[in-house]
Structure 1
Amino acid sequence: MSKLLDKAKELLTKHDRSVDKGLNKAGEQADQRTDQKYTEHIDKGVQEAKKHTGESDTTK
């Protein structure tokens, strides 16, 4: 199982910007579906997830 986790971490690091874009889109969809009731919580969750995607810039 650790080989699978290592591979997943490697892919996340290699494709950090794409993963971050996907996280942003997922956050936007969640925000729309909840009628912006939880925007602050969703944004916080997206930012926390971005911290774990690799070493490149997570603000884009």
Structure 2
Amino acid sequence: MGFLDKAKDLLSKNADKVDTVIDKAGDVVDKKTQGKYASTVDKVQDAAKKAVADNANAANPPAQPPVPPQQQPPAAPPTS
């Protein structure tokens, strides 16, 4: 397992915490730029959160109901 795989695994297991960090990072950027780029920061935050959510969903796909096996129709008795 490579470094990126490990990082993706950690992100998917801690998606809620990552979202909080994304929000805090955006707040720091807004404060440092005095809100000049607030709309751009919001778009980047949304994209980052979506990427984390997509990665979490890819790592933990929703359970799907099992597919019942196909039944063969009864065979007609042989005629001689």
TM-score (norm 2): 0.63
Runs of 4+ displaced beyond 6 Å: none
Q: Which has the higher contact order (CA 8 A, sep 6+)?
A: 1
Residues 11-26 of structure 1: matches in 2 within 5 Å? Answer: 11-26=10-25
Q: CA deviation at 1:31?
A: 0.5
Opposite residue 18 of structure 1, the aligned amino acid is K
2:46 is aligned to 47
Match of 1:28 in 2: 27
Number of residue pairs matched? 54
| Structure 1 position 5 matched with structure 2 position 22 | no
Alpha-carbon distance, 1:51 to partner: 1.2
Give the fraction of aligned pairs with identical amino acids, expressed as a percent: 41
CA RMSD of aligned residues (A): 1.2
Larger radius of gyration: 2
Q: Deviations over 1:26-57 (max 9, x none)?
A: 001100110001000000001101112123xx
Q: Structure 1: which 5+ runs fail to align?
A: 56-60
Q: TM-score, normalised by structure 1?
A: 0.83
> Normalized per residue, which structure has more helix?
1
Which blocks of at least 5 consecutive residues in structure 2 are unaligned? 58-80
SS at match of 1:22: helix
Letter in 1 for 2:51: H
